[in-house]
Amino acid sequence: MDANVGRLLDRLEALGLRERTLIIFTSDNGHSCGHHGFWGKGNGTFPLNMYENSVKIPFIASHPGRIPQGRVSDCLLSAYDVFPTLLDYLGLPIPAAGNRPGRSFARLLAGESGEARDSVVVHSEYGPVRMIRTQEWKYVHRYPFGPCELYDLVPDPNERKNVLEEPQNRALGRELQRQLNNWFLEYADPVRDGDRLPVAGRGQLNTVDREHSPAEAFAALDDLLWEGSALGQRK
């Protein structure tokens, strides 16, 4: 991938298009490579997880003469912000029709301060698992019975200690849950809402045992999950 990104850049420069081209490098979702004791993404465990390494993705933008080089931003952004950002960047109107949560961060790309967002909501194919994150806190809600989680990301960036049940944090947990619910009430289509879907933590992983098929491995995993084994407790 590294080599072919370079080939694309070289080709754009050879065609004289580099300074006329906005390049964005990003991806789908994060991945745990042994983090928290498992290999996979958010649906690589049961219960499904919303760890930072499962949901954060790279976003690199380059446009000589328009985007300052070497800048790193810690603003809270989401993939649903890319659509209005591209339109805004090109000077095109953002459609008023449709109920979309995204907002443009074109000013941020240009090196300006831009409009700061207090929180960002992460929603994906994880059905009944949802997350809201601020600069300091992360709240994870699991329908219908939990367990739910609250992490203080400043002293605990690796999300090792769930502090939701600590008395001093209960009000904050309820407030973040309220904000999360309101976000989905405003933007989600009830017909397509996955908050009650029985999504399990199969992930998209193959077995490392060559003597057994992936189907056999998943069947064995399902048996362990239903038996309430240690594997079903996020191992």
Q: What is the pLDDT of residues 170-214, one digit of tens each?
A: 999 999 999 999 998 888 888 878 787 777 665 555 444 455 554
CA-to-CA distance for 195 and 7, rounded, in angstroms? Answer: 43
pTM of the model: 0.80
Each residue of 10-57: pLDDT tens digit? Answer: 999 999 999 999 999 998 888 888 888 888 888 888 888 999 988 888
CA 51 to chain centre: 9
pLDDT higher than 50, residue 230: no
- Taking a C-beta distance cutoff of 8 angstroms, is the pair 133, 120 a contact? yes
The mean pLDDT value for 99-111 works out to 90
- Taking a C-beta distance cutoff of 8 angstroms, is the pair 81, 102 a contact? yes
Please report the pLDDT score of residue 235 as a whole number: 36
Which position has the higher pLDDT, 18 or 146? 18
Please report the pLDDT score of residue 83 as a whole number: 93
- In degrees and rounded to multiples of 5, residue 114 shows phi and psi of 70, 175
pLDDT higher than 70, residue 220: no
- Taking a C-beta distance cutoff of 8 angstroms, is the pair 145, 153 a contact? no
pLDDT higher than 80, residue 97: no
The mean pLDDT value for 156-169 works out to 96
CA-to-CA distance for 153 and 139, rounded, in angstroms? Answer: 10
CA 102 to chain centre: 14
Sorted by where each starts, the structural domains of the chain and their CATH numbers stand as 2-204 (3.40.720.10), 207-235 (no CATH)
Own/partner contacts of 141-149, CB < 8 Å, gap of 24 or more, are 141/177, 141/180, 142/47, 142/48, 143/195, 143/196, 144/196, 147/47, 148/173, 148/177, 149/50
Classify 206 as helix, strand or coil. Answer: coil
Please report the pLDDT score of residue 144 as a whole number: 82
Please report the pLDDT score of residue 203 as a whole number: 54
pLDDT higher than 50, residue 88: yes
pLDDT higher than 60, residue 66: yes
pLDDT higher than 70, residue 222: no
- Taking a C-beta distance cutoff of 8 angstroms, is the pair 132, 121 a contact? yes
